């Protein structure tokens, strides 16, 4: 199907883009990678009257670390940039694990992490990854810039706190307090599919002790779920079989899956527990190996 008629603008600056959005009001949409917006327009689930393509706005394609270790990902940084990133491979294990699991190579060439957060699909992988890391979005509008933690950014399926005339210009991940470990596991019916279940685990340790933990779940509720009690069960102590099994059980309890053609709610909950256990067991083994090497 063809999309409904719309006006297309491709501004060359953020100010111009924000001005266009302000004038377009509720009927304007930002276009980044177009990998979610364009299919929705073609199906006529979305019929914006104005599309503001930000791909000509310079200086938004970066991902880089500040001197203090804060990771910044610009609005036009593509999934593929993150998949191939040496920076992520060496400093962000949860993100590095997730990047190759987003969709397929064609979608990864165009789609953006920031666009994925703005799209707020409960099955979007980046939201749970960034949430587990305590990340935020920086939005810019006519009134200036504001930072919004991803945990507060998404208000429901495909809904965020962004004002219609705001552009999400970057996402950022705070620096690790200690050593950062973690992972992302995704159950998909076939390669390139959306998650039936996805689990992001990010843990920071000082010596053997967990100083910060984040666990977030993809595809098992009306929006991305922060399993805060499960994360709290890991914090302030070493990773042990007991803490792993406690976190796995609490994470499964936080999931709100529905039975559908991809599996029963019970099966999906079971997979959440399995993935939490698997990621934390790997992380725990890594620590044991490190301790052995240091001894």
Ligand X SMILES: Cc1cc2nc3c(=O)[nH]c(=O)nc-3n(C[C@H](O)[C@H](O)[C@H](O)COP(=O)(O)OP(=O)(O)OC[C@H]3O[C@@H](n4cnc5c(N)ncnc54)[C@H](O)[C@@H]3O)c2cc1C
**What is d(CA 216, CA 277) in angstroms, rounded to the nearest whole number?**
14
Residue 135 as a binder of ligand X (CB under 6 A): the answer is no
Q: How far is the CB of 177 from ligand X (least distance, A)?
A: 27
Strand partners, 272: none
User: Of residues 256-295, which lie at the interface with ligand X (CB under 6 A)?
Assistant: none
Q: How far is the CB of 180 from ligand X (least distance, A)?
A: 22
Residue 114 as a binder of ligand X (CB under 6 A): the answer is yes
Q: How far is the CB of 123 from ligand X (least distance, A)?
A: 7
**What is d(CA 229, CA 95) in angstroms, rounded to the nearest whole number?**
22
Tell me which of 11, 24, 33, 257 binds ligand X, using CB under 6 A.
33
Q: Which stretch binds ligand X (CB under 6 A): 119-127, 141-149, 243-251, 262-270?
A: 119-127
**What is d(CA 60, CA 74) in angstroms, rounded to the nearest whole number?**
5
Q: Which stretch binds ligand X (CB under 6 A): 6-14, 117-125, 149-157, 236-244?
A: 117-125
**What is d(CA 53, CA 127) in angstroms, rounded to the nearest whole number?**
22
Q: How far is the CB of 148 from ligand X (least distance, A)?
A: 12
Residue 88 as a binder of ligand X (CB under 6 A): the answer is no
Give Cβ neighbours of residue 283 (< 8 Å, ≥ 6 apart).
181, 182, 183, 201, 203, 239
Q: Which is nearer to ligand X, 36 or 85 (CB)?
A: 36
**What is d(CA 138, CA 150) in angstroms, rounded to the nearest whole number?**
10
Residue 200 as a binder of ligand X (CB under 6 A): the answer is no
Residue 122 as a binder of ligand X (CB under 6 A): the answer is no
Q: Which stretch binds ligand X (CB under 6 A): 30-38, 177-185, 244-252, 263-271?
A: 30-38
Q: Which is nearer to ligand X, 126 or 275 (CB)?
A: 126
Q: Are the C-beta atoms of 131 and 150 separated by less than 8 Å?
A: yes
Residue 77 as a binder of ligand X (CB under 6 A): the answer is no
CA 257 to chain centre: 19
Q: Are the C-beta atoms of 227 and 199 separated by less than 8 Å?
A: no
Tell me which of 97, 103, 187, 231 binds ligand X, using CB under 6 A.
103
**Which residue from 103, 249, 112, 91 is spatially nearest to 182, judged by alpha carbons?**
91
Q: Which is nearer to ligand X, 29 or 180 (CB)?
A: 29
Q: Which is nearer to ligand X, 191 or 295 (CB)?
A: 191
Residue 36 as a binder of ligand X (CB under 6 A): the answer is yes
Q: Are the C-beta atoms of 217 and 224 separated by less than 8 Å?
A: yes
Report CA torsion sign: 135, 163, 197, 76.
negative
The structure tokens listed for 189 are: 């019916």
Residue 115 as a binder of ligand X (CB under 6 A): the answer is yes
Give me the 153-192 binding string for ligand X, x by CB under 6 A, dash otherwise: ---------x----xx------------------------
3-state secondary structure of 16: helix
Residue 124 as a binder of ligand X (CB under 6 A): the answer is yes
The structure tokens listed for 161 are: 């706190």
Contacts with ligand X, residue ranges (CB under 6 A): 29-37, 39, 75, 102-103, 107, 111-112, 114-116, 118-119, 124-126, 162, 167-168, 194
């Amino acid at each position: 199907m063809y999309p409904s008629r719309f006006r297309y603008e491709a501004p060359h600056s953020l100010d111009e883009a924000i001005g266009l959005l302000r004038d377009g009001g509720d009927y304007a949409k930002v276009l980044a990678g177009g990998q979610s917006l364009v299919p929705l327009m073609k199906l006529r689930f979305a019929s914006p009257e104005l599309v503001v393509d930000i791909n000509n706005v310079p200086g938004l394609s970066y991902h880089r670390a500040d001197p203090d270790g804060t990771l910044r990902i610009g609005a036009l940084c593509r999934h593929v940039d993150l998949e191939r990133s040496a920076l992520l491979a060496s400093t962000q294990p949860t993100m590095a694990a997730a990047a190759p699991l987003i969709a397929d190579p064609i979608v990864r060439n165009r789609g953006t992490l920031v666009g994925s957060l703005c799209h707020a699909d409960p099955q979007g992988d980046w939201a749970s990854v960034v949430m587990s890391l305590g990340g935020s979005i920086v939005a810019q509008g006519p009134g200036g810039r504001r930072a919004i933690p991803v945990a507060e950014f998404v208000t429901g399926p495909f809904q965020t706190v962004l004002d219609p005339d705001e552009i999400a210009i970057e996402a950022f991940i705070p620096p690790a307090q200690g050593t950062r470990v973690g992972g992302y596991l995704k159950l998909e019916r076939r390669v390139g599919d959306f998650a039936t279940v996805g689990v992001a685990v990010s843990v920071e340790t000082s010596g053997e002790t967990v100083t910060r933990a984040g666990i977030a779940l993809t595809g098992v509720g009306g929006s991305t779920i922060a399993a805060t009690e499960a994360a709290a069960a890991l914090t302030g102590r070493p990773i042990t079989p007991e803490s792993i099994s406690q976190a796995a059980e609490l994470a499964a309890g936080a999931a709100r899956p529905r039975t559908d053609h991809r599996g029963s709610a019970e099966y999906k909950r079971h997979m959440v527990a399995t993935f939490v256990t698997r990621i934390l067991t790997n992380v725990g083994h890594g620590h044991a190996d490190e301790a052995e090497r240091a001894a």
